Structure 1
Amino acid sequence: MIKRSFYYLWGSQTISNIADIIYILSITVLVFNSSNSLMQTTLIPLFRLSAQVVSGLVAPIILSRFRLTRILLFSQLGQFVIFTLLLLYLWTVPGQSSFLFIFVLVFGMSFLDGWTNPARNALVPRLASGEGLMRANGLMAVSDQVVRCAGWALSGIIVAWLGTLSTLVIASCCYLVAATVTSVIRDPLEHQKSGSETPTSAASPAAAEPKGGYWKELGEGWQIIWHNRRIRSLMIVDSIDTIGGTSWLGVFILAYVTQVLHKDASWWGFMNASFFSGMILGGVLVVGLVKRLQKNGYLYMLGALFVYVLITVVFAVNTIPAAALVLFAVSGLPVQMAGIIRRTLLQTSAPAAQLPKVMAGIDVLTNLTFGLSLLFLGWYADRFGMVQVYLLAAAMTTIAVLIGWFYRREFQDSEQADYPTVTDERVSS
């Protein structure tokens, strides 16, 4: 069952993602053309990543004190305000822009955006239940990949056609539209709290607010991740898989194309497009097969990861460009399926009141694992070559599958978190 508010959330997040891609590309082009310095341009992703890490660390406090819908609305309205200031500044001092001021505004927008992902992932289970939850996650994943696949190409065309400032205006309008759509989302859990004398969060000690100050509150999500066997097992599998999965990052694919396939950089674009196509297909399949996947989701997740291992091994030893293109596209399918199922299992492994803090902790852990894996694989690729990198990726995912199989008994029961529903909101299945 999927509530009507989910579609508002889906639409607002899609529009917001479009705005993110447009503004990132526009700012990158603006800074590079104005400075003609690659080093200054690379400060943009650096400021974004730093802001998101800081935002993720303080997210548990924000998520525990404010409604998820208000956090999303505040984030989007805040980004709209900051973006409007950036536009006014660029129009006021054209050609004399201070890059430091631009970077500070980018940091502010990314800081606000850091709360969006855990809030969104915690809100989805409140707006969808049963088979609808996995279908909702599949729809979110498909839209995310479509925006990523088409967004960069279309944004480049728009920037070349309209210019940087006009493109930034489009991004600003997208943020405002996204905030408007977010304002009509209704959170069923908050609706129940407001409609009863005793808040839902006070129904059990596990859902109660921590009484140990900010530090204890910051660590509560981590404690839940560690003590909840289902969540802990999923995060162990995900972290080990991420070590090898980082090898599908663009820079490694570029090295594979030039060193193994002996092709120019144009093939890099073909490979990325094929992978995104496979990811989109994987999301569509999850939506279409949700009834089958819902019953034994955990085993299907392990099966998808095992299929990914086989594809990765063949991809590593292959030297035929056309075959590599096909393999890269096919690999996106099990990766997306495993990712959607894993997210659904995480969302159904903790009570609704605890889920925002859990998701915030998971985001920090995922980003930390990704960053360390990126550094390690960069060193490993320079020392042993790209063929060994992908063989290592297959080995790491194999270990993740074996560990996941060891924990399979934790997922044999069908017990899920008791997410609230409301009866006065029309739903669609």
Structure 2
Amino acid sequence: MKNKFFYFLLIGQFFSYLADVFFIVALISIVFHLTHSTVVAGLVPIFRVSAGLLSGMVAPLIIDRYNPLAVLKFSNLLQSILFLVLAICSLYPIKQIVVIPFFLILTFLLSFFEGWAAPIRNSLVPNLVDKNELLKANSLLSTLDQSVQLMGWFLGGYLVVFVGDTKLLWVTFIFSILSSMLFFSLKNQVVFGSVKQKAELEAQEKRPWNSLKEGWETIWRLPTIRAIFLMDFLEGLVNAVWIAAILFVYVRDVLHKGEEWWGFINASFFLGGIVGGTAIVALGRYTNSYLRFFIIFGAFTISIMTFVFGIVSNPIFALVLSFILGAVTQLRDTAQQTILQESTPEGILPKVFAAKATMMYATFGISVLFMGIITDVFGVKSTYVVAATFIGIAGLSAIFQMKPVFDRSAG
């Protein structure tokens, strides 16, 4: 990959991911120390998910009305400004009754603007690399995300302890500024779609409903994309099995270990994702022809591993399974991302990613409630059995909806 702008995007996302992780660590620490309430601290992820859901719904309107690259730059700059406001406010003693709602509102706005930026970043990749390097590029970006998830939370927690949450907010601001500078380095020559597509988009500016539904219509019209979205929908309904609340119960009731094992399991998963992503980068040219196979193989492997993970009581074996799940999930998700980018017309791609984000946020909210009820009523082992079943059904749906697995012609 010789395009320098791809590396601007790659490094920019690295700083953006770090800023996001450090921000959450610092904010939850500040809110908890001010209120000593886990319920209030738990409002932070609720506000983030709500903002992401709303932002994904309105993102197509913004993408149609303005240059997508300009939207990316603007949203990142606004996030940097909000980080600066948070950092400055944390320096001054403010009454709790004022500061908590203020911080939560800023959290909502930060996540809202990120909901504009994320689908555009994902849509930029096909413009920056050759088609035969798309899988490798997606794997690099995904592996970077996994690496930040593995190291960022540990490093963020360390910095909170040794330098304090207020100073960590300033570090977050610095990373966000660096990210914005790199995104501003992307040239406006990076475009989405043909001249004809642009004219069509301009014509739709006066018809907001067309903008909102276009991504969903594209998903329904293209069989390959529809199959991927159905898989994501089914898996999204059970993805909450990996949230802390349910993993804590699993560690306590199934593994009979302390809460620190939740961290070990998470670390093992992210490490597996890094190894899987590195393997894809190394073997990219050999794996390009089997993307659909990796999606279906990945779904059934994840289903089996989730089932075994849920019933196994050996902690070491659970760590091994978590590692395998991380590697296979990375392989499957990267293949899905690449097929989406190859199968979707460029002018519609940001809207398809925005629709995907909206669906994932919505299903996650349902999943937290659904999986929580199953865990409380039937026990945590049943929760993982249900999750494995849904993922297996997702794999079956892909077999019936996708073209033959070795046919790489886009839907």
Query: Which TM-score applies when normalising by structure 2?
Result: 0.93
- Answer yes or no: is 1:182 the counterpart of 2:176: no
Shift of 1:212: 5.8
| Counterpart amino acid of residue 298 in structure 2 | A
State the partner residue of 2:162: 161
Shift of 1:336: 1.1
Using the alignment, how far apart are the partners of 1:191 and 1:311 within structure 2?
39
State the partner residue of 2:247: 253
Using the alignment, how far apart are the partners of 2:224 and 2:40 within structure 1?
44
State the partner residue of 1:4: 4
Task: Spell out the pairing of 1:249-398 with structure 2 (5 A cutoff).
Answer: 249-398=243-392
Find the residue that maps to 1:371 and give its secondary structure.
helix
Deviating more after overlay: 309-318 vs 139-148? 309-318
| CA pair 398-191 structure 1, distance change in 2 beyond 3 A | closer
Using the alignment, how far apart are the partners of 1:31 and 1:211 within structure 2?
41
Using the alignment, how far apart are the partners of 2:149 and 2:103 within structure 1?
24
State the partner residue of 1:88: 88
Shift of 1:314: 2.3
Using the alignment, how far apart are the partners of 1:379 and 1:213 within structure 2?
42
| Counterpart amino acid of residue 17 in structure 1 | Y
The superposition leaves residues 125-178 of structure 1 with CA deviations (integer Å, 9 ceiling, x where unpaired) of 111232311111100111101111111110111121112221111111111111
The superposition leaves residues 26-62 of structure 1 with CA deviations (integer Å, 9 ceiling, x where unpaired) of 1111111112222222222222222222111110011
Find the residue that maps to 2:295 and give its secondary structure.
helix
Structure 2 unaligned blocks of 5 or more:
none
Are the aligned partners of 1:312 and 1:390 in contact in 2 as well (CA < 8 Å)?
yes
State the partner residue of 1:63: 63
State the partner residue of 1:423: none
Are the aligned partners of 1:126 and 1:188 in contact in 2 as well (CA < 8 Å)?
no
The superposition leaves residues 67-110 of structure 1 with CA deviations (integer Å, 9 ceiling, x where unpaired) of 23222211111011122222222324357662122222222212
Shift of 1:292: 2.2
Query: Which TM-score applies when normalising by structure 1?
Result: 0.90
Shift of 1:202: 4.9
Shift of 1:381: 1.5
Using the alignment, how far apart are the partners of 1:12 and 1:202 within structure 2?
27
Find the residue that maps to 1:263 and give its secondary structure.
coil
Structure 1 segments, 4+ long, off by >6 Å, are none
Are the aligned partners of 1:225 and 1:232 in contact in 2 as well (CA < 8 Å)?
yes
Are the aligned partners of 1:69 and 1:187 in contact in 2 as well (CA < 8 Å)?
yes
Shift of 1:313: 2.7
State the partner residue of 1:421: none
Higher helix share: 2
Aligned pairs, how many?
410
| CA pair 315-46 structure 1, distance change in 2 beyond 3 A | closer
Across the aligned residues of Structure 1 and Structure 2, the Cα RMSD in angstroms comes to: 2.2
The superposition leaves residues 380-409 of structure 1 with CA deviations (integer Å, 9 ceiling, x where unpaired) of 111221222222222222211111111232
Using the alignment, how far apart are the partners of 2:359 and 2:154 within structure 1?
31
Structure 1 unaligned blocks of 5 or more:
194-198, 418-429
Percent identity (aligned):
32
The superposition leaves residues 345-370 of structure 1 with CA deviations (integer Å, 9 ceiling, x where unpaired) of 11111110111111111111121122
Are the aligned partners of 1:237 and 1:400 in contact in 2 as well (CA < 8 Å)?
yes
Task: Spell out the pairing of 1:390-429 with structure 2 (5 A cutoff).
Answer: 390-409=384-403, 413-416=407-410
| Counterpart amino acid of residue 65 in structure 2 | R
Shift of 1:413: 4.4
Find the residue that maps to 2:204 and give its secondary structure.
coil
